[in-house]
Amino acid sequence: MSLLRHLPRFRALEQRLGDLADREQWSRTRLDEFQLERLNALWAHAREHVPHYRDLATDRSLPDQFGDLGEFSSTVPVLDKALVRDKPEQFFSDEAAPGGWHRTGGSTGIPMRVYWEHTAHRQSLQIRYRSEQARGVGVFDRHAFLWGHGASLAPGWRGGMARVRRAVEDRLRRRIRLSAYQVGPDDLASHLQRMGRFQPVCLYGYSSAVNLLAEAAEAAGTSVPSLRLVTLSAEPAHPWIVEQVGRGFGAPVLIEYGSVECGNMAISDESGRLRVREDHVLLETVEREDGRFDVIVTVLYNPSFPLIRYRIEDVTEHALNRPTAGFAWLDAIGGRDNDFLWTATGGRVHPQAVKHVVEHLPVRRFTARQSGSGLLTLMVEADRDLPPSDVDRTTHLLQEMLGGLPIRVETHATLPSSPAGKHRWVIADPPSGSLPTD
């Protein structure tokens, strides 16, 4: 039995999960009332303690409270991601609760910093715990994570401390971490062997990486009989991926929709629809000129860094469906579209590996392009050339991942933005001819 079960945080978790379950059955009227109450409390704090909203309320003569959700959406302007990215201090409350700063994945091309209260961050995690509980998986059941860990790639003592902390937490939480950075045939075979020994109840990971692992399991005739659930996260989970993962592992597949700045926002139900956690976010869909819909998010439970009518730059094909009872649901979300890199020995490297290396550099934006010869050109947007020590460290980490293939780092004053919104930051051409190595 995990020692963490006895901590007050986890002792109170069972009641919290029960509350989350009850809200899933609420009527539309009760959900709207709950959201309006949460929204007005958030707005009262934001207009008094957060610079951006204090100025916005004055400039637009916005009310102290909103009479209904329609008044809110018709009077408060949409918040563009670029403003949050460029001036995060304008969204930081002068009465912020204890918490910490986090960096987003840079799916629009430029990572940004956001602040999460510790209590709000735990609430976001509880959404995942509840979705697993509804499918028979407990918080302390064995989990396998096919994931990365960007903090471990930080330079110096910070990276070392992050690796130690990760190992301790994983052990206490009864989980194994399978690296999603390296996902070539040998890596996948090793991951399946570890899962066979560990016998996890749940597998959680990047959609594309889990799909490769499921393909490998099916091809090898390998089964993990303990698995009761597979959760796909961080990337679009196309229908063909869900089908392959379910077939490869013989377990139900769950889709999680969230982001670093907004937390967990929606979880798929038994029919595959993304059910929005309307007790945590107020989500809108606004029609675009191309007939699709922008996703607009108000995070209702993180007043220390409030994001109100925030354009997350995700797109969906249809408007939000709001039934008379139960949470609203979304169609599939269009998001990140990146390539796997390939190595000198025929392996694959997940695009998140590049992102987690680059996020420790003083840059605004990056694009990584691998040519057919194997050369990886890392183009970064920065105000000045990177220090040689940063270039050397980045080159070494990426070369190690790619089995010695050559790396070139270029600094640019600006890099082009993706016209589609989400930035394609890792692009790989098919290999051709012999592969040079250093």
Q: Tell me what pLDDT residue 360 has.
A: 85
Whether residue 42 has pLDDT greater than 70: yes
Cα 45 to its chain centre, rounded Å, is 27
Q: What is the residue-wise DSSP string for 25-63? A: T-BHHHHHHHHHHHHHHHHHHHHHH-HHHHHHHHHTT--
pLDDT score at 14: 78
Contact 111, 104 (CB under 8 A): yes
Angle (deg, nearest 10), helices 28-49 and 51-59: 100
pLDDT in tens, 372-387: 999 999 999 888 889 9
Residue 206 pLDDT > 50: yes
The pLDDT score that the predictor gives to residue 419 is 46
pLDDT of residue 165: 84
Q: Tell me the average pLDDT across 311-328.
A: 92
The residue extents of the domains of the chain are: 3-119+274-334, 136-251, 341-428
- In tens, the pLDDT along 219-259 reads 999 999 999 999 999 888 888 999 999 999 999 999 999 99
Q: How many other C-beta atoms can be found within 10 angstroms of the C-beta atom of residue 377?
A: 15
Give the residue ranges of DSSP H helices in 50-155.
Answer: 51-59, 69-75, 81-86, 118-133
Strand runs labelled E in 310-375: 310-316, 329-330, 333-334, 341-342, 348-349, 365-370
List the one residue out of 290, 282, 281 whose CA is nearest residue 317. Answer: 290
CATH class of the domain whose range is 3-119+274-334: alpha beta
Concatenate the DSSP letters of all residues of 151-164 into one string.
GGGSSHHHHHHHHH
Residue pair 364/86 in contact (Cβ under 8 Å)? The answer is no
Work out the percent of the chain whose per-residue pLDDT is above 90.
Answer: 67
136-251 and 341-428 have identical folds: no
Work out the average pLDDT over 298-320.
94
Beta bridge partners of 163: none
CB 395 within 8 A of CB 426: no
At residue 415, the pLDDT reads 81
Q: Who contacts 306 (Cβ-Cβ below 8 Å, separation ≥6)?
A: 42, 45, 46, 50, 53, 91, 93, 299
CA dist 438 → 197, 350, 378, 394, 426 (Å): 37, 22, 16, 15, 22
The pLDDT of residue 303: 97
Asked which of 40-49, 139-148, 422-431 is least confident by mean pLDDT, the reply is: 422-431
Check pLDDT > 90 for residue 46: yes
Residue 57 has pLDDT above 50, yes or no: yes
Q: Quick one: pLDDT band at residue 170, thresholds 50, 70, 90?
A: confident
Is the model more confident about 74 or about 8?
74
- Give the pLDDT of residue 162: 80
- Which of 223, 205, 194 has the alpha carbon at shortest distance from 146? 205
Contact predicate 295/283, CB 8 Å:
yes
For residue 2, pLDDT beyond 60 = no
pLDDT at 414 (0 to 100): 85
| Distance set, CA 228 to CA 139, 171, 176, 201, 238 (Å) | 13, 21, 16, 5, 21
Tell me the fold of 341-428: GMP Synthetase; Chain A, domain 3 (3.30.300)
Are 214 and 260 within 8 A, CB to CB? no
111, pLDDT greater than 80: no
CATH topology of domain 136-251: Rossmann fold (3.40.50)
